[in-house]
Structure 1
Amino acid sequence: MAATPRSGDVWTRPRGGRKPKLTREAIVEAAIRLADAEGLEAVSIRRIASELGVRAMSLYTHIDAKEDLLDLMYDVVAEEVLVQGELPDGWREALTEVARREREAGLRHPWMLQLAGRSPRIGPNGLRHIEQSLAAAARLTDDPEGMLAIVKTIDHYMLGFITMEQQAAEGSPQRVQTTPLEQTYVRLLVERGELPHLKPFLETSFCSSDSFELGLKWLLDGIEHEYRGK
């Protein structure tokens, strides 16, 4: 049974113990390794305790509940997205760099999309990431609503793209194990000439680094036209 919840959020609560053998950082790192290897469903207080060779109750000295742990995991990975040092000078270059780092982190940690869907409590690194994104958009417009719209639009594109990449990745539980042309009805439609434009793509990948960059370029072109093309 979890300890009685304490006041404040997980980032401001006091940490238990003096120089403890078990630390919050070690718990979160173990949880991330487990999620990377086996998926978010494998993450539990009992399983992490087993991985660390401690009793499950000892984890509650550092976290109140699994929800706290998920928030901490999300924020640790959010640090990977941060652009170190100064952002690139141009707004396009800055937003492109942020989007690339988001995509790379999402592919390294596929479970991040699941956590994003549950609206995690935003931690320090998550806030810095949002700040960087808005700072990049601010180089194109000083309208706060416009800045937010730009960031959200790029995020939606990036999240949709890496969702498709994850589903197509080798080993993904959502991966389609057969090619479309191995499905009888698809083959029949192709043979009858009903899919002339789709046919060349049925045996090729719809997701690649090149197509991500091209789609992002088109998106930024449209944003630039909206603000500077009038």
Structure 2
Amino acid sequence: MAGSARSGDVWTRPRGGRRPKLTREAIVESAIKIADAEGLAAVSIRRIASELGVRAMSLYTHIDAKEDIFDLMYDEVAEETLVKGDLPDDWREAFLQITHKERETGLKHPWMFELSHRSPRVGPNGLRHAEQSLAAAARLTDDPESMVAIITTVDHYMLGYTLREQHVQEIGENGLERAHTSLLEREYIRLLLESGEFPHLKPVFERGLYGRVDFERGLNWLLDGIEHDYGQK
């Protein structure tokens, strides 16, 4: 029933329904397509049912609540963050591959990070991703606390960078250029930059460098620091 209490994790509950069109996989696939195109707010039981050509109530033979769909969506795209095959023996290369996969997935599914703030229940692919990250850190240290600190630090860098990239995707590169140009066209800004109060900021703005970043370069700086801390050469 739609209003019943959620009984256990969605991955352990039996899959209901006999309609070939209406499967748990079809529900999740439809929800992901909607979220990719229109954002997480557009995902609803009624909207998914409409896309699949079924009655909304029929979805409850597969899920107990919309939160189940969110959990399944998150875990489905978590599979895309997994490095296929064996991780490289080198810890740095392992982290580079994992972090690039996370970034690519986040850009492809911008709602993924929004869902992570809702504390989704971890599914099998989420666990596999965590295991891969810990395995990469284990090539550097055998201390579990240090492993968690390393993967958290790298994740924070990836998340901050990717969220900014998502914003750039929304407004476009031309949008950033227009925003920069409009700032320099404002007399108030020009006067401040010419006042001498901002000797470091002035050339950055004049050369159009403000906001330019390099994911790989920044990530390697971060890994250099981690490597130095653990004495690996």
Structure 2 length normalisation: TM-score?
0.89
Letter in 2 for 1:224: E
1:164 offset after TM fit, Å? 1.0
Task: Point out where structure 2 has 5 or more consecutive residues left out of the alignment.
Answer: none
Where do 1:1-230 residues align within 5 Å? 2-18=2-18, 20-171=20-171, 178-183=178-183, 184=186, 185-202=188-205, 203-204=208-209, 206-208=211-213, 211-228=214-231
Residues matched between the structures, number? 226
Q: 1:188 to 1:64 in 2, by over 3 A?
A: farther
Q: 1:181 to 1:190 in 2, by over 3 A?
A: farther
Deviations 1:76-104 (A, max 9, x none): 00000001100011000001110000000
1:170 offset after TM fit, Å? 3.6
Q: 1:171 to 1:179 in 2, by over 3 A?
A: closer
1:168 offset after TM fit, Å? 1.8
Q: Secondary structure at the match of 1:142?
A: coil
More helix by share: 2
1:187 offset after TM fit, Å? 3.3
Q: Which moved more, 1:213-222 or 1:189-198?
A: 189-198
Aligned identity (percent) is 68
Distance 1:82 1:148 in 2: 18
1:42 offset after TM fit, Å? 0.7
Contact kept, 8 Å, 2:6 with 2:65, in 1: the verdict is no
Q: CA RMSD in A?
A: 2.1
Structure 1 length normalisation: TM-score?
0.90
Task: Point out where structure 1 has 5 or more consecutive residues left out of the alignment.
Answer: none
Distance 1:10 1:138 in 2: 31
Distance 1:170 1:17 in 2: 39
